[in-house]
């Protein structure tokens, strides 16, 4: 009985400790863009697999602006911003590529998420400039971008240089504003 009380007490203290850590640390404001120090250096090319199994490289899209969005279906802000990302990709289909990289473990979860989207968004997923990547082992999100919180987005110039890193959910107006600067 005494062991159970100690285990429960320890678990509660650990939970409180993590909660305090989350409150004390200073996350980047949601939807606020920040210029990265290495904004002039092109991002190293990488290969990604879309959720249907197709292989692509980042440099396949050289010559266009690229918006890379790191997300997951279990992330509420990710879910909230997804239709806006698709809408902007639809509006800017001539000069913008959206690469949405999901860290979900299972592609079935991604498919179920898509079926719950509004009709317009379900159509926009199939656009030629929209790529839904699947990165369950976090080789891209972890190794290339060192992402730890989601959503996180990166705006790349046509020569593949990162000019903006956005931590937190974006709205359509945020994205339009970022693209207007470029």
pLDDT digits (tens, 9 = 90+) for 115-155: 999 999 989 999 999 999 999 999 999 989 999 889 999 99
pLDDT at 31 over 50: no
Predicted structure pTM score: 0.77
Distance CA 15, CA 123 (A): 42
pLDDT at 131: 96
**Domain spanning 29-180: which CATH class is it, in words?**
alpha beta
Both tokens of residue 111? 């498919």
Q: Characterise 53 by phi-psi region: left (phi > 0), alpha (psi -120 to 50), beta (else).
A: left
Cβ–Cβ < 8 Å for 78, 151: yes
Q: Which residue has the tokens 């699947």?
A: 134
């Amino acid at each position: 009985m005494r062991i159970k009380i100690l285990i429960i007490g320890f678990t509660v203290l650990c939970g409180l400790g993590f909660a305090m850590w989350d409150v004390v640390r200073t996350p980047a404001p949601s939807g606020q863009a920040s210029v990265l120090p290495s904004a002039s250096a092109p991002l190293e090319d990488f290969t990604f697999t879309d959720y249907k199994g197709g292989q692509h490289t980042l440099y396949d899209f050289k010559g266009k602006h690229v918006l890379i969005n790191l997300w997951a279906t279990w992330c509420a802000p990710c879910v909230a911003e997804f239709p806006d990302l698709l809408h902007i990709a639809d509006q800017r289909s001539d000069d913008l590529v959206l690469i949405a990289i999901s860290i979900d473990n299972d592609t079935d979860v991604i498919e179920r998420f898509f079926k719950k989207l509004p009709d317009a968004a379900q159509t926009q997923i199939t656009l030629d400039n929209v790529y839904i990547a699947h990165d369950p082992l976090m080789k891209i999100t972890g190794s290339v971008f060192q992402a730890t919180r989601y959503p996180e987005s990166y705006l790349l110039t046509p020569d593949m240089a990162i000019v903006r890193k956005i931590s937190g959910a974006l709205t359509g107006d945020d994205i339009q504003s970022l693209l207007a600067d470029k």
